[in-house]
Amino acid sequence: MLDSLVLPCQKEAIEEGRTIFRFLQKMVTLLDHLSVSGSTRREDWGERKVALYYLWLGWYTILLVPAAILGVIVFLYALVHFVSSYYRKEVCESDTVMCPRCDKWCQVWQLRDTCTYAKVSHLFDNEGTVAFAMFMAVWATIFLELWKRHKATFVSKWKVFDWCEEEEELILGVLNDPDCHPKEFRHSYLRSTLVLVLVTLMLVLIIGLTQALVVFRVVAAVLLSEGTWEFVRDHANTVAVMLGAVLHYITMQFMTRVNKAVAFKLCEIGESGESFAATERSFTVKMFTFQFFTLFSSLIYVAFFLGRINGRPGSYVRISGKWRLEECHPSGCLTDLFIQMAVIMLLKQTLNNIFEFTCGHCYKNACREEEKMGRDPCDICKLRDWLRNYDLNDVNFFSLFNEFLEMVVQFSFTTIFVAAFPLAPLLALINNIFEIRLDAIKMVSLERRLVPKKTNDIGIWTKVLEAIGVLAVIANGLVIGVSSDFIPRLVYRYHYGPCANGEADVHVRKDFFPSQLITESGFNVTQCSYKDYRNDVDYSLTSQFWLIMAVRFAFVVLFEHVVVIFKCIAAWFVPDSPMLVKNDRLKDKLCRLKEELQ
C-alpha cells in the first residue's frame, strides 16, 4: 500500500533501504557467531565510536574545570598586583625617549607612554604564569592517563576491551564474499618517497602563506599609519596584528578544505590497497599535521621570531628593500601573541558553532522553501516521520572526524601556548559546555544517523594528544624563556639594580626623518633608545645580552627537565586501567579458558 503512495524516486530509496536492512540483519546474525569475546551479545553492538567521542568530550570538559579555575586564579593574582608591581613604576615614570617604530610617519615616543600597556601585559606575563604553564604541561599527561582509566571502565562494561578493528573488516569481507581473501600489507619505497615529497611541498606552501600574512601585517601597518583616523594611526601596529589574526582565521577556513582534499589524495597514493583502519590512521595523521601548521605557523612566528629579526637602527631588515619588518608591541612580544591567540580562539569557537548549527537548520528546511516557491520536488518530507530522515544532512567518515579534529585543535590551543593566554582553558570550558549540546542536537535532529561502528578507543587521536603534550612542554618553556620578559626582569631585578634600563641609546642616523624626531611637547631629540642590548658606539652585543641569553637557555633546560620528570611520575603513578577492570578481565579469561578446555 505504501508503494502506491510514493513517487518513483521515493520507491527507489525505500527499496534501497529494504536491501540495506536485510544486509544488516545478516551481518548481526553472523556477528553473533563471530564475536570477539565469548561474552559479547547482540545488544552490546552499537554506535561505540560515537559513544566514545561523547565519553572523551565529556571527560575532557570535566578535566578542564581545575585548569580553568587555576587560570582564573593566576589572572586574579596578576590583577591584585596590577598597580603595585615594582618595575611598572620605573616604566610609568621613565624619561627615556624611544626610537620610531616605523618609517616616515612614526615619531619618537616616551617609554612612559606604554604605562597602561605594561600594566595590562602583567596580567598574563607574571610569575604565576610560569607555575601555570608547568601545571598545564603536567595536566595534559594526567588528563590522558585518567582518560585511559575512564575509557577502560566503559569498554570493559561494553565487552569490547579485546575487540580488534581488523577482525571487524574481515567479518564484513566474509559477509560480502565467503571466499574472500584478506588485504595483504604492502610497502612501496617509491610511493612512500612520493608521499614524503608531496607532504613537504604542502608544508612549504602552508609556511609560505604564513609569510604572506607577515607581509600583510607589515604593509597594513604602514598604510594604517598613513591613514586619516587618529586612533588607528596611533595604534597602527596593534590594529595590523588584529587584522592579521582575522585574515589568519579566514585562511584557516579555506585551507581546511584544501588540507582535507590533499590528505585524502595522499592516502590514495600511499595507502592504496590497505585496510580501512590503516587508511583512516594515515589520513588522520596527515590531516592533523596540515591543520597544525596552518593554525600554528603564524603563532610560532609571533612567539619566536617577531621583533627578533627586524634588525636595528642603521641596519633594519626590510621587505623588498622598502617596508621595515614589524616590531613587537611596546609592552613586549607576548602581547602580540596574546592578541593573536585571543582573536583566533574567539572567532574559531563562536563562529564555528554558529555556522555548524544554523547550516543544519537551513539544510533541513530546504524542502519547505521549495514548496513555497510552487515546486513539487521529490520531497520525502511529505511522507511519514521515518522518511523525513532522507532530507537531513548526509553523514560520512568526515562527520565524526571533524568533531574530533575541532576538539583536538582546541586542546592544542589550550596547552601549547597557554603561557601567553592563561584564560584559554576557561574559554575552552565555556565552549565545550555548549559544544556537547550542539553536537547532540546536530546528530539527533539535523543529520542522518551515523552508520554504527564498533570500537574500544579513540584510535590514533590518543597518539596525537600525547604528541601535543610533549609540544606543550617545549613551546611553553620557549615562550616563557624566549618570548616573555620574565627572564630579563629577573636579571634586571637581581643583578643590575634599579639604575639600569636594559635598552641601548643610539645617535640618530639616516633611518629617521627630522619630522619623526620631534616629541609631542615639541622637543627635537638627537638620540633615542630601542629595545636591545647593544653598545651605543659600534652596535656590538653587550655582556648584558649574553648574560640574559645564558639565563634564558638555563631556564628553558631546567623548565623542560622538571616538567618532563613530573609528567613521567604522573604517567607512572596513574595506572591505565583500574584494578577492578583488570580483575574482571582476568576472571573472564579464566572462565573462557575453562570452557574451551572442557
Tell me, what's the pLDDT at 43?
A: 36
pLDDT exceeds cutoff 50 at 14 = no
Q: Distance between CA atoms of 472 and 209, rounded to whole angstroms?
A: 24
Q: Distance between CA atoms of 280 and 103, rounded to whole angstroms?
A: 52
Tell me, what's the pLDDT at 446?
A: 76
Tell me, what's the pLDDT at 504?
A: 54
Q: Identify whether the C-beta of residue 563 lies closer than 8 Å to the C-beta of residue 473.
A: yes
Cell 634586571 sits at which residue? 492
Tell me, what's the pLDDT at 252?
A: 85
Q: Distance between CA atoms of 395 and 418, rounded to whole angstroms?
A: 34
pLDDT exceeds cutoff 90 at 587 = no
Mean pLDDT of 88-105: 72
Q: What residue spans define the domains of the chain? A: 45-185+274-597
Q: Identify whether the C-beta of residue 152 lies closer than 8 Å to the C-beta of residue 577.
A: yes
Tell me, what's the pLDDT at 429?
A: 92
Tell me, what's the pLDDT at 10?
A: 42
Q: Identify whether the C-beta of residue 569 lies closer than 8 Å to the C-beta of residue 563.
A: no
Q: Distance between CA atoms of 310 and 318, rounded to whole angstroms?
A: 8
Instruction: Give 311's strand partners.
Output: 316
The set of cell numbers assigned to 467 is: 604528541
pLDDT exceeds cutoff 80 at 81 = no
Q: Distance between CA atoms of 136 and 369, rounded to whole angstroms?
A: 49
Q: Which stretch, 139-143, 238-242, 493-497, has highest mean pLDDT?
A: 139-143
Length of the chain: 598
Tell me, what's the pLDDT at 2?
A: 35
Mean pLDDT of 477-506: 69
Percent of the chain topping pLDDT 90: 10
Identify the DSSP state of 332: B
- pLDDT tens for 337-385 read 877 787 777 777 777 767 665 655 554 554 455 445 554 444 444 445 5
Cα-Cα-Cα-Cα dihedral sign, residues 305, 307, 308, 312: positive
281-285, 452-456, 578-582: least confident range: 452-456
Question: At 200, is the pLDDT very low, low, confident or very high (cuts 50, 70, 90)?
Answer: very high
CB neighbourhood size of 139 (10 A): 24
CA R_g for the chain: 30
Number of helices and strands (H, E) in the chain? Answer: 18, 8
Question: At 37, is the pLDDT very low, low, confident or very high (cuts 50, 70, 90)?
Answer: very low
Q: Are strands 315-316 and 318-319 parallel, antiparallel or unpaired?
A: unpaired
Q: Identify whether the C-beta of residue 112 lies closer than 8 Å to the C-beta of residue 91.
A: yes
Long-range CB pairs of 185-188 (<8 Å, 24+ gap) are 185/274, 186/273, 186/274
Q: Distance between CA atoms of 54 and 278, rounded to whole angstroms?
A: 23
Tell me, what's the pLDDT at 199?
A: 93
| Residue 30: Cβ-neighbour burial (10 angstroms; 0-12, 13-18, 19+) | middle
Percent of the chain topping pLDDT 70: 75
pLDDT exceeds cutoff 70 at 492 = yes
Identify the DSSP state of 97: E
Tell me, what's the pLDDT at 197?
A: 93
SS3 label, residue 329: strand
Question: At 29, is the pLDDT very low, low, confident or very high (cuts 50, 70, 90)?
Answer: very low
Cell 594604517 sits at which residue? 224
User: Pick the residue with more confidence: 398 or 541?
Assistant: 541
Q: Distance between CA atoms of 401 and 396, rounded to whole angstroms?
A: 9
For the whole prediction, is pTM greater than 0.85? no
Q: Identify whether the C-beta of residue 325 lies closer than 8 Å to the C-beta of residue 309.
A: yes
SS3 label, residue 105: coil
pLDDT exceeds cutoff 60 at 215 = yes
| Residue 509: Cβ-neighbour burial (10 angstroms; 0-12, 13-18, 19+) | exposed
Q: Distance between CA atoms of 145 and 571, rounded to whole angstroms?
A: 6
**What phi and psi values does residue 416 have, to the nearest 5 degrees?**
-70, -45
Q: Identify whether the C-beta of residue 393 lies closer than 8 Å to the C-beta of residue 450.
A: no
Tell me, what's the pLDDT at 198?
A: 93
Tell me, what's the pLDDT at 362?
A: 53
Distances (CA, A) of 156 to 36, 106, 123, 315, 418: 13, 66, 46, 66, 35
Q: Distance between CA atoms of 202 and 261, rounded to whole angstroms?
A: 12
**What phi and psi values does residue 72 have, to the nearest 5 degrees?**
-65, -40
Q: Distance between CA atoms of 359 and 356, rounded to whole angstroms?
A: 6
- pLDDT tens for 274-331 read 667 778 888 889 999 999 999 888 888 888 888 778 777 777 778 777 777 777 777 6
Closest CA to 13 of 28, 24, 2: 2
Tell me, what's the pLDDT at 506?
A: 59
Mean pLDDT of 25-35: 42
Mean pLDDT of 242-251: 83
Q: Distance between CA atoms of 210 and 212, rounded to whole angstroms?
A: 5
Distances (CA, A) of 408 to 291, 385, 390, 468: 11, 36, 31, 9
Q: Distance between CA atoms of 355 and 318, rounded to whole angstroms?
A: 40
Helix or strand holding residue 477 (H, E): helix 461-478
260-274, 510-524, 551-565: least confident range: 510-524
Residues 6+ apart with CB under 8 A from 91: 111, 112, 114, 115, 118
**What b-and-e string marks burial along 360-376, b requiring 16 or more CB atoms within 10 Å of the CB?**
beeebeebeeeeeeeee
Q: Identify whether the C-beta of residue 416 lies closer than 8 Å to the C-beta of residue 471.
A: yes
Q: Distance between CA atoms of 287 and 473, rounded to whole angstroms?
A: 23
Closest CA to 283 of 299, 296, 266, 295: 266
What does the mean pLDDT of the chain come to?
75
Distances (CA, A) of 426 to 10, 146, 177, 436, 457: 49, 20, 52, 16, 27
Q: How wide is the angle at C-alpha 31 spanned by C-alphas 25 and 35, nearest 5°?
A: 160
Instruction: Give 315's strand partners.
Output: 312
pLDDT exceeds cutoff 70 at 84 = no
Mean pLDDT of 426-434: 90
pLDDT exceeds cutoff 70 at 454 = yes
Question: At 139, is the pLDDT very low, low, confident or very high (cuts 50, 70, 90)?
Answer: very high
Residue 202: half-sphere exposure toward Cβ, Cα within 13 Å: 25
Q: Distance between CA atoms of 564 and 138, rounded to whole angstroms?
A: 8
Question: At 401, is the pLDDT very low, low, confident or very high (cuts 50, 70, 90)?
Answer: confident
